[in-house]
């Protein structure tokens, strides 16, 4: 994958964070992509920090812009690709084990606006919640409790407490951390 840099922030494959499998801070050069690849029985939640990202699957597609949150439920499986636009892309990708198996793939996008740049994202699952905020320079927010990821131009950092000042993208995961049956 030329032109793609991925920094894995968390990858607790032992089930210690419930459904969470991986969080990665990915940067793609203009026109770079992951290549067509397959997913099954996983939900991929992508928060676009900057740039643009064209996501295509099964003859359909959508272009994400900064602040957009794409939720891909791979379900029984699909092949897809993501390709950065002319301005590249910076995306925080979170992988969750599917809550429900045996269903077809689905995709949805939450588009935050300047008037509504933060809040809870409905993931439609009882074991994981996501809160996000896009902060401009001079803005600050005190995020809710949970697994916090703060993304700035310098990179992404996991953890921390108290207020966060912009410019930054903040993601907070609230997870049912009970040990899932697949981890036994």
Ordered by start, the domain boundaries in the chain are: 4-183
70: helix, coil or strand? strand
Q: Domain 4-183 adopts which CATH fold?
A: Jelly Rolls (2.60.120)
Written as six digits, the tokens of 32 are 């770079």
- The pair phi, psi for residue 8, each rounded to 5°, is -75, 120
Q: Which pTM does this prediction carry?
A: 0.91
Note whether 78 and 57 are within 8 A (CB). Answer: yes
Contacts of 139 (CB under 8 A, 6+ apart): 165, 166
- What is the DSSP secondary-structure string of 8-36? EEE--TTSTTTTEEEEEEEEE-TT-B--S
Per-residue pLDDT of the chain (184 residues; tens, 9 = 90+): 689 999 999 888 777 788 999 999 999 999 999 988 998 999 999 999 999 999 887 777 889 999 999 999 888 998 989 999 999 999 999 999 988 888 998 888 988 877 777 899 989 899 999 999 999 999 999 999 999 999 988 889 999 999 999 999 999 999 988 755 655 5
């Amino acid at each position: 994958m030329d032109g793609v840099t991925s920094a894995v922030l968390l990858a607790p494959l032992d089930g210690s964070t419930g459904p969470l499998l991986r969080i990665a801070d990915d940067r793609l050069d203009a026109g770079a992509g992951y290549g067509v690849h397959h997913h099954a029985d996983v939900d991929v939640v992508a928060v676009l920090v900057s740039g643009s990202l064209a996501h295509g699957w099964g003859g359909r597609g959508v272009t994400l812009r900064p602040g957009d949150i794409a939720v891909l439920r791979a379900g029984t499986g699909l092949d897809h690709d993501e390709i950065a636009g002319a301005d590249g892309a910076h995306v925080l990708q979170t992988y969750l084990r599917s809550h429900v198996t045996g269903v077809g793939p689905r995709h949805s996008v939450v588009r935050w606006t300047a008037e509504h740049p933060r809040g809870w994202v409905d993931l439609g699952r009882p074991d994981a919640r996501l809160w996000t905020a896009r902060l401009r320079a001079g803005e600050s927010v005190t995020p809710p409790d949970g697994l916090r990821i703060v993304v700035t131009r310098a990179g992404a950092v996991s953890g921390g407490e108290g207020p966060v000042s912009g410019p930054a993208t903040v993601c907070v995961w609230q997870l049912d951390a009970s040990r899932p049956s697949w981890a036994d």
